[in-house]
Structures are given as structure tokens and as C-alpha cells.
Structure 1
Amino acid sequence: MKRRPQEHQEHVRDEGVEDEVEEEEEVDDEVDAELMDEDVKEERAGGHQAVVPGVVYISYIPPRMRVKHVRHFLSVFGEMGRVFLQPEGESDILGLHYNEGFLILIKKGERRVGLGNVFLPTGKWRRGGGYLHRFHWCHLTERLTYERMVHRQRFRQEISQAKRETNFFAANVDHSKAIARAANKQRKEGGTVLEKTWTFKQKSTEDENLAKAREKINRIEEKTKSSRKLLTQIFGKPAV
């Protein structure tokens, strides 16, 4: 008999909670109905468009700033997705600097203005960042994949070139050692060693070019003299 007031209170509380839940459900139903009406209006106006995440470009990253810092400072502009920062040159992990960055802005926040001017440098000639129209994250990944492929291919070419030069140098060294051993063997046997010599054609000097031109002129004059002498012998001297 003493527990009946408690049971009555619990029953009253349950009824109050049920009333609150029913009121919340009614509010949710009203909100859903309003959203459905808005969706119907949008569909009638021109169709419902899905929200596409936008890519934002940042032209300058302050020194010592990492991805977590960029995400922390730019989270006030909206919900962010992936963040990519381009390293500036090759350096150690502690002294790594970034020169530019890309990030995905999934949903805009209250502060929609000035996102591209957050990390603008002072006193440097670099343009500010901003929203990239019709630019998707797949375009950035394709570009990075292409750059990595080009870098690997160039690295392979450099390695193959270094291997060819090393092999050529080693082959020449072995060949010269074999020639030296053969020459020493011939000397010990008392034979004559014929050393190979190389002759290289050098470019003629200006005096040599002038001498060749004079010789050519002299040859032409001698030919003309001989032809005139032959003509005088055949036809006689011309009348003066």
C-alpha cells in the first residue's frame, strides 16, 4: 500500500515523457513536411541538385604549418574533407616547408568570405588562393600520379645512363690492362712492341686558309696561260 504513490508518480512521469516524445515527433513531422514541400518546390523549379564538394586552392602556406594546423584554422569556414599540401623542395621532416595546398570544402559555414586570403604572404609576389571552379579532387590525384610517373621514369633513365657509363669505363679499364699485359709479355720475350698512335685533324688557321686560296688562284692563272699559249699556236697571234 505504501508503494502506490511512487507507482502513481512513475506513471505520471511516464505520461509526461510520452507527451514530450509525441510533441517532438509532431515537430519532426512538421519539419519533414516543410523540407518535403521545399524539395517538391525545387524539383518543380528545376530539379534537385546534389551538393558537390568544392576544391579550394591556397597559394601560400606559412612555415612550420602542417595539415592539422591548416584544418584547425580553416574549419571555421565550413566542413572540410581531404587536405593536400605540396612540399617545397627536399628537406628533412622537421624542416619541411609547403608552398601551396588544396582542400575539399564539403559544406560552407557561416564565414563564406575571405577563405582565399587567410594565408596570404606579406611582401611576396604571390597571388591569393580561392575556389577552383569545375575542379575536382580526381583532377589533382591524376596530376600527382602523372608527376610521380614522370619522376620515376626520369629516375630510371638517370640510373640506366649511369650504369652504361660505369660499364663503358670498366670495359675500357679492362681493355687497357689487357693491352699493357700483352706489351709487357712481348718485351720480356725480346720482341718489338708497336704502340698504337692516333692522329687528329685540326682546324686550319687563317694563314693556312690564305695560302690555300693563293695556290688555287695561281693554279687557275697557270691554266689560263697554258690555254692562251695553245690558242696562239693554233690560230696565231691576234692582230693588234
Structure 2
Amino acid sequence: MTSVDLHLEEQSMVVEEDEFREGEVPKRKNKKKRSHADLGEDAEKRGICYLSRIPPHMNPSHIRQILSRFGDIHRIYLVPEDPNIQVHREQASGFRGKEFSEGWVEFSKRSVAKRVANLLNGEQIGGKKRSSFYYDIWNIKYLRKFKWDDLTSEIANKNRIREQKLNMEISAAKRERDFYLSKVEQSRALNFMQERRKKKQKTVGAESDGTEEPKVIRQFPQNRPVADGGAQTKTKLSKDILAGVFGGGS
């Protein structure tokens, strides 16, 4: 049994519990085991009607209570409304109850399903005047050659497509998050570098404001260079001194 079949079985169990709380006596289930051939014959005799619109405040229990007057109903499945539409509706009207968008009703006999679709389509729902869907119109159609297994496979396909879209959206959101975090890290690194550069400039400027010691320039005395006419005014050595130096004496 697939997850969709389990969901549909849970849906039918909820309907039966609601009807029991409303005071109706549930039908006793036949405890005798039936063969697969009998179950297959019953499935071939069943007919399914499609509800293109579910009036506000209507649930599976209301549908079973109204349509069971025409014949036995085997299963009911209603599609919950889109979460985005639900949020908008809750903000607009304030009603936080569960609403449905479309549904399928399986009758025990095809003839009953055809008769229900022909009689009720386009007619007023009616019932109790105090009900919120008293003035709503039925939008119901008999689905020829449509089986409950077709519905379960279609629902499973829709769920698979929805999961794929959700996974794609999640992966895209993760990529955007990683890109944003990388840009934030780059911005932090650039800000840190700029702050370090500013601090360094401040320290260099503080040192150049006169706080450092002045440079000392040392001067050494030097002999003045000989003028151009100095060779003429230079004193000559005597011959006696030269003779004593070079040994030229007597």
C-alpha cells in the first residue's frame, strides 16, 4: 500500500469518526473475508464523480451526509487548498479553518454516480438554511472510465512533481545564501584591511608632528684651497736647507 492509499484511508477514517460524533450510527463492517475476485468486481461496478469546487466550510463529512441520500458512498478524497491561498484567506477573513479546493467521490454503483452528476450539477446545494454553503452551487461531473487507482497514481505524480520543485527551490535558496555569506566575508576582510591602513596612517602622522628628535648636522674645519696666484707668492726654500736634506753639503 502506497503513501497515497494510506492518506486516503486516513481521510475515510476521519469522515467516519466525524459522522459518529454527529450521532449517526456507523454501518457495521462485514467481518467475512472476501476474495480478490469479489473485490475486483466491486471496483468495476463503482463510479466516481469529480467536484471542481468545494464551497467554503464544507468538509468530507458534509459531502457524505448530503450525497449519501442518493446511494452508498465508498470513498471521498478532498484536496487541501494551497498554503499561499490559505495564508491570504486567513489574513483577509480571519477564518483559520481547513478549506479544500477540489475533490472526488466514489459511489458503489456507476448508475448512482451518473444520476447524482446529472441531477446536482449547476443546482443549489441547499440543506439547512443556517449552513454557510446553503446558497452555493454544485460543480460536479461524472468521470467515465475513471478508477480510484487512476486518482492515486495522479496524486502520487503530483506529489513527486511538487517535491522536485521544492528541492529545486531549496537548492536555489542555499546557493543564494552561500553567495551572500561569501560576499559578507569579503566585505569584512576589506573593512579590516581599511581599518588597519587607517591606523597605520595615524601612527605615521603622529610621529611626523614633531615628536621625534631633530637631526644634528656636524661641521668639520677644512683648509682653504690655494688660490690661482698662490704659486707665485709661495716662499722659496734656501739652498742650505736643501743641501742638508739631500746631502749636498761640503
Q: TM-score, normalising length from structure 1?
A: 0.49
**Rg (Cα) greater in structure:** 2
Larger RCO (CA within 8 A; separation ≥ 6) = 2
TM-score by length of 2: 0.47
Q: Select the structure that is richer in helix.
A: 1
